[in-house]
Structure 1
Amino acid sequence: MTDTVLEPATETAVADPLFQPITLRDLTLRNRISMSPMTRYFSPNGVPGEDVVSYYRRRAEAGVGLIVTEGVGIDHLTAVDDPAIPHMYGKAALEGWRRVTDAVHAAGGRIFPQLWHQGPLRDPARSSRPDLVGSRPSGHWGKAGHTSYGDAYVDAMRAPTQPIESVEITDIITAFASAARNAMEAGFDGVALHGGHGYLIDSFLWHETNHRTDRYGGDTSRRAAFAVEIVAAVRAEIGNAPIMFRFSQHKQQDYGARLGETPEELGALLMPLAQAGVDLFDASGRVFDRPAFEGSNLSLAGWAKKLTGKPSVAIGGIGLGNGLGETLSDSSETRPLDNLQAARDAIARNEFDMAGVGRAILNDPQWVERVRKRQPFVAFDRANLRRLA
């Protein structure tokens, strides 16, 4: 397979918008490339080991501006399913994360953990507690649509459960705050919150899964209340460190789902989060520069910035020629693609602020350095999905 070839490096590369620094509160990032979170399943009993340390260190050494870790479980019984997903509590796990942050900082990088509660998408069969179902705002898994999940899994998961009770909601908010405090003690530079893709925080935001009639459900602003309280609780624990918040229109339950049908609906959900303390919106789209709403060429990240006034990250297929779903299912060949000029142009015109890159950096630890030097990209190796390359 022939690699995609980029133009040779020139002096003009110094002015590349992707390689300009950006400051979030008191934290300055060396460039505009963010390594997106990617679940890896390489932390037995929730503890990241030396292979995880090396995995993140290699990306920092290659010049990633901001590393966002794989999803990290908070201290709640139904936070995550697979026992090899790392967590942000307990002495062993925090010592492991301290080794990660020390290694990243020694390489000149900056790193946030993505704090995670899977909510409706927790699979009891994969967990050490199969007797516990996932936490759901109203007991609904969500209306199944176009999804990468198999029919048997969907049929098992879509059965209604009991809605999450108010006392458990309070416990989960407290667990997010505790995890954020632990992250600061482990040396992280900020905190990322997973509020997209149909997981717990998103399931409160999404009308399809939140039918509550208490203060956590109802109109758009009430559906934002759970996420707002988490952000506020995290802000109280981490002081002036930045908070990053991932959101998405699409869901794992249905790639065609929409969090907001109009910019106004989306703004009603995002603006309270900005006011509560979010500094950077991580706009997870399936195609990073696809228009988010009819009648406008603005991407999802562009709308996040326009609606909130906060910096944003554009995510979705940067550096590759297909989507994540196609890569995971192997339904089409994943090939390197130089689609970076669109990201450069959008950053230069202030549409969004950073480019979030997942699979390309997972596949090649040196990807950012290749971009900086205008070197060829390497072929995509699907085996890297199953190892810490």
Structure 2
Amino acid sequence: MLITAALVLLMTPGLAFFYGGLVKAKSVISMMMLSFGAMGLIAVLWVLFGYSIAFSNGPQGPAGTDTYIGWDGVFGFDPSMFSLNSLFVDSQDPAGAYPTIAFAAFQATFAIITVALISGAIADRAKFGAWMIFAGVWATIVYFPVASWVFNFTLGEDGSVVDGGWIASMGVIDFAGGTAVHINAGAAALALALVLGKRVGFAKGADKPHNPPFVLLGAGLLWFGWFGFNAGSELAADGVAALAFLNTIAAPAAAILGWLVVEKIKDGKATSIGAASGAVAGLVAITPACAALTPFWAMVLGVVAGAVCALAIDLKFKLGFDDSLDVVGIHLVGGLIGTLYLGFFANGSGLIFSGSFEQLGIQAISALAVMVYSFVLAYVIGFVIEKTIGFRVKNEDEVAGIDLAIHGEEGYVLENSRQ
């Protein structure tokens, strides 16, 4: 559990490199700081009260407490768990292999990366302080409750959910966060892109990634950390974790091929940025499905996700919203593909195995609920921030480069530039 938590935490610096390479050279510090800011803030909030909101009333909460306040399965918290005090000396071993506080550490890393994902939609034009306010409020009223809806549950002897968050209780298949992480973050990213508006000079081909090696490095770190994300969600070293691990190799590998084929047909060249983006799209899509598909169907999912996301990233130009680094095209679309795909191909319950549309309906309702909830609240939070303290930097700072304006630093300081 501790090793997988460390792997997932590494994903956020990996994301910083991935996003940092995609922006302008004069915005790289600002972009990477949005990820590191999320690491600092969300980890603190998680310890103080985030875990209490997400997991206090369930199998990962303290035993013998009657202080839970709220609407069971929807929203609530346990004051006795403030700052995780009630877990500090916890000796429970609910899965026979780890203390509850190890699970709390593991889930903290999920909260951090989910918030950090959103930042790619507002690259090159967001104030750091405004982002930190948004991140804290959104995590508190969106991510923490949604994590409870999806991840907080108790299994019966037959493996079915007998008690938990309302989405988990419906029987949704979301092994590691297709809804709670990727659809959640992607919907919020779309909302913020609409609130902040388009960058100066926004047009197809106007903004080129300044450092493709950073993008490839970031994608590699993300993929490495994703093994903890997916296989670690089994909470045990067993055959299910091994299947999730293998599918976390197979799906993104196939997605690289799917993306590159579409890119070659569409643009005439297969690019390094396309390979990195394809891998991430496959990782996103396999996240909810990694333990519910055979490796063959995982590869089919990867090809579909890579190809569709390669096309989806152009929607922003057709629909007129500026999602700077394609969070919507990769995380929202990829999360929807992976979540809905299970309605057809999940072992046992998918349409082709069961002949029933029930699982597809459950997957669709869950995806839609999280998407709408996250989008609406993110839009409101972002709108209030923009109309009060301002979320977007001045146009002249955006054009000049926001690293110096916001952080007083430059990503690349060349000796001859000081002469």
TM over 0.5: no
Bigger-Rg structure (1/2) = 2
TM-score (norm 2): 0.29
- Higher RCO (CA < 8 A, seq sep 6+): 2
Higher helix share: 2
TM-score (norm 1): 0.30
